[in-house]
Structure 1
Amino acid sequence: MKVEKTTVASGTSTSVAGPVKSAARALDLLDEIATHGPGTQLQLSTRLSIPKSSLHALLKTMTERGWLQTDPTGSVYQLGIHSLVVSSAYLTGDSVLSRANPVMDELAAATEETVNLARRDGDHVIYTGKRESVHPLRMHLAVGRRLPAYSTALGRAVLAELPADERARLVPDEIAPLTAKTTTGKDEVLAIIDAAERDGYTVESEESCMGVRCFGVSLPFGLPGSDGLSVAAPISRLTGGREDNIIETLLSIKARLSTVREHSAIR
């Protein structure tokens, strides 16, 4: 463990603990597998730039503790059952998710389409809740999935809660497309986010999933809001005013939640 000395006003010194290298590597390993998928010891060593010899003991320990597991060949490492236990405990204890659950139920019943809940994590969003569409043709996006905030309707709505300079910092100069229709120009994306601030919602069409249009709003559960709600529907079903109905329903829910928050603040 790295330890640094700092001097306090009295002239005495105190020890300040810095990063623990082994702990950081363990967390980096979990993040890497969660984001980019399983791998062999050699593949993970290359992806993380960690010497294979150093990685061996870490993989063994994390496998024994259930954070990782191997495939039937014993050579490919993937997330273990303990990762699920911890993530489930997080979702169970999350106050926003408990408040959003009835809202997702209401929105799913009103639209009959896929409803997603997500939280901003830097320049990405992580999906924390979902309600499936009643239709066989639907958008498949698992809870725990991490996507760029600046390329999704929900994420753009949440970014619109931030000051303009912070938005500009979080949108990269070079945007990797998720689909052939992803907007990759930084100025164009920032203009879309500006419009989301003005309109209270945002729409993206086939930018994160081909054939699907998404409608997103931020949720007023914090200042600035870090959670957002979206409805995702196949474009083929958005006929006869259904798109306007989805937007109106989202804005109505957002307005109602904002009113509740304001009344709570007054009390």
Structure 2
Amino acid sequence: MSETGGVREVKSAARTVELLELLAARGDRPARLQELAEELQVPRSSMYALLQTLISRGWVRTDSTGSLYGIGIHALLTGTSYLDTDPRVRAVRPYLDEASQALGETVHMGRLDGRDVAYLATRESHEYLRTISRVGRRLPAHVGALGKALLAERPDADLPQGPYEALTPRTHTDRESLRADLTNIRSRGFSVDREEGVTGIIGFGFALRYDSPAQDAISCSVPVARLTPAHEEQIIAVMREIRTRIEATAPGAGGAPNWR
């Protein structure tokens, strides 16, 4: 049995969390009992009993035949509670509205979670329909503007060795290439994602330094076809101002619980 913070991990609780994370990661691809049992190395009978318990409580759902399993509605309700009760998210949302209205573009707030960035808030542009993110989506930190802005707040020694996952032909896939980009980000004060996460989309990311090192960032995404030099200057100016105002008004470490 492994230990967490000096306390022995509860095996049944760990297994439940691993199952929910696995189902969530599959998205719209429901799983069969055998797949889940093999992936988590659990006997079929134990996995079946766990699934039935979670189905009865709304954390897992199944199809009419009882052979396919997916994440349940209670996962959504719990995630919504996280967003509604997080003081930083509540503080940032009005500024995202303001930035989106001023720029006519999609803006996001994300939080570093291990080697990924989780999207916590998004305001979509009315100018184009292609959705590049959603609340709750996770992306590798090395891929987009949010993640790179946050990686630049940390020493390069913390970067994994690689190679890194590529989402487009422009994604950084090796440590040295990413390090060079992070150096430029530190110099200019914001990150630029030029079609590294989504082909046809450029993003500008700004770390929010109410934590040290920063855990949260905001970004603005715009289609390549609509990004003129003048519009790029406008985006950078507006997002810089929004960042400054957020940092001046968002709850600091002394105004909110120090969540781990």
Scaled by the length of structure 1, the TM-score of the pair is 0.86
Partner of 2:175: 186
1:17 positional shift: 4.6
Letter matched to residue 24 of structure 2: A
Q: How far off is 1:240 after superposition?
A: 5.2
1:153 aligns with 2:145: yes
Quote the residue 2:165 is aligned against. Answer: 176
> Structure 1: which amino acid aligns with 2:49?
A
Residue aligning to 1:129: 121
Q: Which stretch shows the higher mean deviation, 99-108 or 246-255?
A: 246-255
Q: Give the corresponding residue for 2:213.
A: 224
Alignment partner, residue 10 of structure 1: none
Rg comparison, structure with higher value:
1
Q: Structure 1: how far apart are the matches of 2:59 and 2:93? A: 28
Contact 1:96–1:221 at 8 Å: present in 2 too?
Answer: no
Once residues 198 and 65 of structure 2 are traced to their aligned partners in structure 1, the CA distance between those partners, rounded to angstroms, is 34
TM-score, with length taken from structure 2: 0.88
Match of 1:199 among 172, 188, 209: 188
Give, as a single letter, the amino acid of the residue that structure 1 aligns with 2:144. Answer: T
The separation in 2 between residues aligned to 1:49 and 1:244, in whole angstroms, is 53
Q: CA deviation at 1:48?
A: 2.3
What's 1:32 paired with? 22
Q: Secondary structure of 1:26's partner?
A: helix
The one-letter code of the counterpart of 1:203 is V
Question: Does residue 62 of structure 2 align to residue 73 of structure 1?
Answer: no
Q: Any idea what SS the aligned residue of 1:151 has? A: coil
Q: Is the 8 A contact 2:142 2:172 kept in 1?
A: no
Q: Matched residue of 1:150: which SS?
A: coil
Residue 61 (structure 1) aligned to one of 53, 56, 75: 53
SS at match of 2:142: helix
State how far apart, in whole Å, the 1-side matches of 2:154 and 2:63 are.
43
Distance in 2 of aligned mates of 1:197 and 1:252: 18
Deviation at 1:128, TM superposition (A): 0.5
- Cα distance in 1 for residues equivalent to 2:166 and 2:193: 13
CA distance in 1 between partners of 2:218 and 2:87 (Å):
15
Q: Any runs of at least 4 consecutive aligned residues in structure 1 with deviations exceeding 4 A, and if so which?
A: 258-261
Q: 1:82-133: CA deviations, max 9, x gaps? A: 1111111111100110110111011101111111111000111000001010
Judge conservation of contact 1:219–1:225 (CA < 8 Å) in 2: yes
Contact 1:114–1:231, Cα closer than 8 Å, also in 2: yes
What SS does the corresponding residue of 2:128 show, helix, strand or coil? coil
Letter in 1 for 2:222: A
| Contact kept in structure 2, 1:183 and 1:207, CA below 8 Å | yes
1:68 to 1:251, Cα distance in 2 relative to 1, 3 A: same
Identity %: 38
The letter of the residue matching 1:23 is A
For 1:54 and 1:36, the matched residues in 2 are separated by 21
What code does the residue aligned with 1:231 have?
C
- Inter-CA distance 172–123: structure 2 relative to 1 (3 Å threshold): farther
Secondary structure of 2:119's match? strand
Of the three residues 226, 233, 258, the one matched with 1:244 is 233
For 1:246 and 1:178, locate their aligned partners in 2 and report how far apart those are by CA, in whole Å. 24
Aligned partners of 1:139 and 1:212 also within 8 Å: no
Aligned residues of 1:41 and 1:76 also touching (Cα < 8 A): yes
Q: Kindly provide the amino acid, as one letter, of the partner of residue 249 in structure 1.
A: V
